[in-house]
Amino acid sequence: MWDTGMDIRDVQVIRTRTDVYFGVGAIDSIDAIAGQMAARGIKSALVVTGHSAYKVTGAWAKIAPALDRVNIRYAVYDGVTPNPTTGQVDTAVALGADIEAGAVIAIGGGSAIDAGKGAAILLRNPGKTAAALFNCEFAPKEALPILAVNLTHGTGSESNRFAVVTDTEKNFKPVIAFDCIYPTWAIDDPALMATLSEKQTRFVSIDAVNHVIEAATSRSANPLAVMLASETVKLVSKYLPLALREPGNLTARYFLAYAAMIAGVAFDNSLLHYTHALEHPLSAVRPDLAHGLGLSILLPAVVKEIYPARSVVLADLLAPIVPGLTGVPGEAEKAAKGVEKWLVSVGVSEKLADFGFTADDVDSLVDLTLKTPSLSGLLDQAPTEANRLSIASIYLNSLGWIS
């Protein structure tokens, strides 16, 4: 494969709608980025991050001095949790308003980057709340410039226009998508990802696989998304087992980070559907359920549901993890069981029943899926008709093993 000849320490700028500084050592590009910020007249920045990863990874030790050197003041909000909330975004915004922030620097995985995107919108649209934003009560046209310093290889949020934040009062976990929140700059440095735990490594990588399976089979799928999807699955299938065996292997981290980034571009082009629409209610109800794990649990049942409608695409896409598929619509169960087997091989055997969900919960989960603002837009992209019956079937098939 082409990946064997890449110099992982040759930092390159990959240009999507975002300038992504990519490669081992990319964090050192912060000086150039800070200089660009200063040249734009940015004098202060709100830093949005989690409690410790921004320090543990070494990212902050590079970023803070770079900002100091160009006299950009900053305030740090480090209260972002997995499955961030509207309350966290509002608290960050208040901190940013106090220093008249001219940019947002989001440091972390998808949670921190998504929260930072929300803050960037609200700081440009004073008087609005995070609940109003994420419940789609207004459509912003502007946001502050965003720098996304990505610390995981999963969400692709550093290279697209999406953000997800939970409204805990309603148990809604909606998704927003606006052109104004494409990050202006992003840093993908695999060396910053070497401290990910085994579970995080596993779940974020499977998140990327989910992104492309949905993007390549959506009603809006285009050739670019399908091509990027195919490459993503190949890279994850090859390098995730290596990263699990050797957490410090930067070659594995490099290609997993690349896979996640191009997966973000894939679904930026062709959108998502069932798996993400149905996972959001799960982690809204159970915030301790990691997003990537929720997606993993749902994926086999989603494959079973959509395979007859997209059998040829899925047979090709899944070939690295489920060999032997021929693209015949009738092999949906074989495909779903094959995905289950692959998930087990990388350490994911959990089902919804393991988290206390039962058949009695399905109706309420279906209701949340149908009522949460914005999720209808995802369901509309599903390759089969997304209705109460199909949604309930996916949840029910995710309680236990595919049969």
Cα separation, 161 vs 177, whole angstroms? 5
Show the CA angle centred on residue 27, arms to residues 242 and 29, nearest 5°: 135
- Provide the pLDDT for residue 54: 97
**Domains of the chain: total:** 2
Tell me the per-residue pLDDT of 272-292, one tens digit each, with 9 for 90 and over. Answer: 999 999 999 999 899 889 999
Residues 235, 276 within the same domain: yes
pLDDT at 17: 95
pLDDT of residue 91: 98
- 85 in any annotated domain: yes
Q: Name the pLDDT band for 388 (thresholds 50, 70, 90).
A: very high
pLDDT averaged over every residue in the chain:
97
Instruction: Give a yes or no: residue 403 inside a domain.
Output: no
Q: Is residue 389 part of a domain?
A: yes
Is 331 domain-assigned? yes
The predicted pLDDT at position 217 comes to: 98
- Is residue 237 located within the same domain as residue 288? yes
Instruction: pLDDT band for 397, please (50, 70, 90 cuts).
Output: very high
pLDDT of residue 2 exceeding 90, the answer is no
Nearest alpha-carbon partner for 86 in 146, 161, 173: 173
Predicted confidence (pLDDT) at residue 224 exceeds the cutoff of 90: yes
Which of 193, 228, 247 is the last residue in one of the domains? 193
Q: What is the mean pLDDT of residues 234-254?
A: 98
Residue pair 215/191 in contact (Cβ under 8 Å)? The answer is no
The reply to whether 89 and 114 lie within a common domain is yes
107: in domain: yes
Tokens of 286: 């159970």
Of 193, 208, 238, the position where a domain reaches its end is 193
> What is Dmax (Cα atoms) for the chain?
63
Residue 187 within a domain? yes
The verdict on residue 63 lying in a domain is: yes
- The C-alpha atoms of residue 59 and residue 49 are separated, in whole angstroms, by 11
Which residues on neighbouring strands pair with residue 172, listed in sequence order? 167
Exposed (0-12), middle (13-18) or buried (19+): which is 127, by Cβ within 10 Å?
A: exposed
CATH number at residue 351: 1.20.1090.10
What is the pLDDT, as a whole number, of residue 76? 98
Q: What's the rounded mean pLDDT across residues 158-166?
A: 96
Rounded distance, CA 328 to CA 307, Å? 9
Q: Which residue has the tokens 């921190």?
A: 112
SS3 (DSSP) at 17: coil
Does the structure show a pLDDT above 90 at 32?
yes
Residues 281 and 388 in one domain: yes
Token pair listed for 397: 């098939």
> Do 330 and 314 fall into the same domain?
yes
State whether 10 and 143 are in the same domain: yes
Note the pLDDT of residue 23.
98
Q: What is the pLDDT of residue 122?
A: 98
* 35 and 111 within one domain: yes
**Whole domain around residue 83: which residue ranges?**
2-193
Q: Can you give the pLDDT at residue 218?
A: 98
How far apart CA 154 and CA 256 sit, in angstroms, is: 8
DSSP conformation class of 402:
-
Average confidence (pLDDT) over 52-78: 98
| Range in 2-6, 249-253, 382-386 with the lowest mean pLDDT | 2-6
What average pLDDT score do residues 196-218 get?
97
Looking at the structure, tell me whether residues 180 and 50 fall in a common domain: yes
Residues 180 and 255 grouped into a single domain? no
Say if residue 1's pLDDT is above 90. Answer: no
pTM of the entire predicted model? 0.96
Are 167 and 303 members of one domain? Answer: no
Predicted confidence (pLDDT) at residue 164 exceeds the cutoff of 90: yes
Q: How far are the Cα atoms of 8, 168, 186, 187 from residue 15, in angstroms, in the given order? A: 17, 36, 10, 12
Q: In this structure, what CATH number is given to the domain that contains residue 54?
A: 3.40.50.1970
Task: Report the C-alpha gap between 279 and 275 in whole angstroms.
Answer: 6
Question: What is the full DSSP assignment across 303-363?
Answer: HHHHGGGSHHHHHHHTTTTSTT----GGGHHHHHHHHHHHHHHTT----GGGGT--GGGHH
Query: How far is it, in rounded angstroms, from Cα 199 to Cα 305?
Result: 27
> Is pLDDT of 135 > 80?
yes
Asked if the structure places residue 402 within a domain, the reply is: no
Cα(311)–Cα(331) distance, integer angstroms: 8
Q: Quick check: 390 and 369 in contact, CB under 8 A? A: no
Of 140, 169, 193, which residue is a domain's last?
193
Is the same domain home to 227 and 156? Answer: no
Rounded CA-CA distance 307/285 in Å is 28
User: 147 with 280, same domain?
Assistant: no
Report the pLDDT value the prediction gives residue 26, as an integer from 0 to 100.
98
Please answer whether residues 52 and 278 qualify as being in contact, where contact means their C-beta atoms are separated by less than 8 angstroms.
no
* pLDDT value, residue 5: 86
CB of 60 within 8 A of CB of 107? yes
pLDDT at 403: 75
Q: pLDDT tens, 107-134?
A: 999 999 999 999 999 999 999 999 999 9
pLDDT surpassing 90 at residue 396: yes
- d(Cα 376, Cα 123) in Å, to the nearest integer? 28
